[in-house]
Structure 1
Amino acid sequence: MFSLPNTFPEFPEFPRGEVWLAGAGPGDPRLLTLLALHALSQAEVIVHDALVDKRVLALASSRASLIPVGKRGGQPSPRQRDINAILVEQASLGHRVLRLKGGDPFVFGRGWDEAIALADAGVYFRIIPGLTSGLTATALAGIPATTRETNPAVVLAAGHRAEDGSSRADWEALGRLGQPILLYMPLLQLPDVAIALQRGGLAADTPAAFIQSASKPDARVVETTLARLVEDATLNGVASPTIVVIGTIAGLRSRLRTYLVDWP
């Protein structure tokens, strides 16, 4: 264990009637930011996603009320406007409200939707960044997001469909970029995505990898290629939560695997 030095900045006060939008990272509570941990200890109401690890929620004050509002693909889920209403209502009651999201609230976390709703309702709020799951998962797996030798850019893309059923991205255009892609929540749309990326110009033998349950005890990595993504997902029983990496960087892991110490 460690203690913070006296020179460490003081944590801000969590005023009543305020909402803090915080990222809980990819799962392991040791990857929480110190400010998120402070928020957990002070919050009176915690409105949390389904993917927030139980070990993270266990850090909350025993006096805090937990309100689950998780969205899960293909399953009945709270509507975003209802979640917004809960945040505004709880703040209007004078509670210290923590909106806790997996990863980072502003990376596919609908943090913007909630921030706008709070601003429009006249509710003060604070944003606490978290480790976004895509970049954290790749790092823990020994897959660099960028290297000087392989790629000057990396694409973060939402792999699931929008609420109206449409695709969220022009996959053929992303394939033409020739840059590695990190797909968040991609499994339901994976067959269409894999085909479209190849139509856009990505080679069938482009290295790829599934990173499932990153930072959690059951974490695993399945290495494959773009052409075999769907087949290998089925053969290996890949399930959510999973990040899919497509691009040259996915093939670099083999050079580190022997000496990379497994998390944690």
Structure 2
Amino acid sequence: MPAARLSHSVARPLSAELDLAERRVVVFGGEPAALRYLARLGRTGAHITVVAPAVCPAIGAMAQAGRIRWHERAWQPEDLDDVWYAVACTPEHNEDIALAAEHKRVFCTRADTQGAADVRPDHPAQGVALIGAGPGDPDLITVRGRELLATADVVIVDRLAPLALLADLRPGAEIIDAAKLPYSRTMAQEHINEVMVDRALSGRFVVRLKGGDPYLFGCGFEEVSACAKAGVPVTVVPGVSSALAAPALAGIPVTHRGMAQEVTIVSGHVPTDHAASLVDWSALGRLRGTLVILMGVTHVAKSSELLIRAGRDAATPVVVVQDAATRFQRVLRSTLADLAQDCATHHVAPPAVFVVGPTAGLEAPQAPDAAEAPHTLVP
């Protein structure tokens, strides 16, 4: 049985507005408003540190993933030592931080002095826009989605939406972290609906920004229904789903002539033996086409076991794509029999997409002058 192979790939780098690559920057403050600055700084390749006694869940997730450092405490002047750039995004301390930065000759941006002007293009949008932002790369949002986002008064954002999009919001836009982290602190769906409707009824244009497509495991219809019940008009903007984008970015077609004529997309977030599970894993094991599993990391061992028991060959190829369409994208090649162990060995973590079936064994040929292939690890 072939050994699992893990490859790392780097997405096309974001355009940098500041020459801060490999340099230290610090952001003071952990509220959702800081996400705008973290998104912009994330484009630069800087080494980012957040200093705040507490942070919103989206920033916490960035720290947990190792993409930023978080000092869980109040700010102190020493935080500005050897720093190239600072952002003061904690209103009660911004003036003191700015004065300390000036004393240490560190360029500092104060969030409370930004965005005095509020200039935006005329737009017919009102109420709520439910926008699918795509699988990870901010450039994969639709043109319509980007246009509406640029005019938003309020943005309610999920962790899996490309946070880099927040860097280009108009001045004064309110950012609300929906905090829908798996198996962690959550903002109940009912509360999200209430906030969305409340802001819209106050006359503000609200964008509900989601990763992927809002109607594929995204609670989009629940949110549209809540708006309709409150009399709030909704514009739905579909997005590119990771269910199809992640395999494509890993070089895997979900259909292929003579090999796969069907694609089944399922959610794996509910335990396979739980009463709330609506997935017929036995039926999936009898299918011969491509199976795409979203949100399946936690229960990968049981789902793999059930698929094999129901008839899928243990040697069926599987590709796992983690953090698709981002510079952190990783691709793991395995088999159904070895999948759970390989995921544990290589520390596969959400968000990850599993592609199961014969097409997962295909590898796109490289042209002689193509870019260097991602580095491959063989355990």
Normalising by structure 1, what TM-score? 0.89
**Which one-letter code corresponds to 1:192 in the other structure?**
K
Matched, 1:221 2:331: yes
1:161 aligns with 2:270: yes
Residue in 2 aligned with 1:59?
A: 168
1:150 is aligned to 259
Letter in 2 for 1:251: G
Match of 1:193 among 303, 306, 310: 303
Query: Residue 208 of structure 1 aligns to which amino acid in structure 2?
Result: V
Q: Distance in 1 between matches of 2:122 and 2:324?
A: 30
Q: Using the TM superposition, give the Cα deviation of residue 250 of structure 1 relative to its aligned residue in structure 2, in angstroms.
A: 0.6
TM-score when scaled to structure 2?
0.63
* Alignment match, 1:48: 157
Indicate which of 290, 296, 299 corresponds to 1:180. 290
Which amino acid is 1:252 matched to? L
Aligned length: 250
- Structure 2 CA distance for aligned equivalents of residues 196 and 112 of structure 1: 30
Instruction: Report the CA distance shift for 1:155/1:257 in structure 2 as closer, same or farther (over 3 A).
Output: farther
Quick one: which of 123, 128, 133 aligns to 2:242? 133
2:231 aligned to which of 110, 122, 129: 122
| Superposition pairs of residues 59-138 of structure 1, within 5 angstroms | 59-138=168-247
Pairwise CA RMSD:
2.0
Q: Which secondary structure does the structure 2 equivalent of 1:187 belong to? A: coil
Q: Secondary structure at the match of 1:42?
A: coil
Larger Rg: 1 or 2? 2
Q: Provide the C-alpha distance between the structure 1 equivalents of 2:210 and 2:153, rounded to a whole number of angstroms.
A: 16
Counterpart in the other structure of 2:348: 238
Q: 1:236 to 1:147 in 2, by over 3 A?
A: same
Report the equivalent of 2:109: none
CA shift, 1:13, in A, is 3.0
Give the drift of 1:14: 4.1
What is the rounded CA distance, in whole Å, between the counterparts of 1:147 and 1:12 in structure 2?
45
Conserved? CA contact 2:291–2:357, under 8 Å:
yes
Q: AA paired with 1:179? A: G
Could you say what secondary structure the match of 2:183 adopts? coil
8 Å CA contact 2:179, 2:185 repeated in 1: no
**Distance of aligned partners of 1:257 and 1:196 in 2 relative to their CA distance in 1, 3 Å threshold:** farther
Note if contact 1:108-1:158 (Cα within 8 Å) is conserved in structure 2.
Answer: yes
Cα deviation digits, residues 79-129 of structure 1 (max 9, x gap): 111111111111111110000000011111110111111111111001001
Distance in 2, matches of 1:108 and 1:200, equals: 25
Identical columns (%): 37
Cα separation, 2, equivalents of 1:218 and 1:168:
32
Residues 12-37 of structure 1: CA deviation (Å, up to 9, x unaligned):
93434x10000010111111111111
The residue type paired with residue 23 of structure 1 is: G
Q: Is the 8 A contact 1:51 1:70 kept in 2?
A: no
1:166 is displaced (CA, Å) by 3.0
**Aligned residue in 2 for 1:6:** none
Query: Is the partner of 1:50 in helix, strand or coil?
Result: coil
Instruction: Structure 2: state its 5+ residue gaps.
Output: 1-120, 375-379
Given that 2:318 and 2:335 are in contact with CA atoms closer than 8 Å, whether structure 1 keeps it comes out as: yes
* Aligned counterparts of 1:200 and 1:257: Cα–Cα separation in 2: 36
One-letter code of the match for 2:130? L
Question: In structure 2, how many angstroms separate the alpha carbons of the residues matched to 1:217 and 1:168?
Answer: 34
Structure-2 residue corresponding to 1:206? 316
Give the superposition deviation at 1:238. 0.8
Deviation at 1:161, TM superposition (A): 1.3
CA contact (8 A) 1:47 1:97 kept: yes
Residue in 2 that maps onto 1:247: 357
Match of 2:299, SS state, is helix
Aligned to 1:4: none
Shift of 1:168: 3.7
The residue matched to 2:265 in structure 1 has which SS?
A: strand
Return the alpha-carbon distance in structure 2 between the equivalents of residues 68 and 200 of structure 1: 41
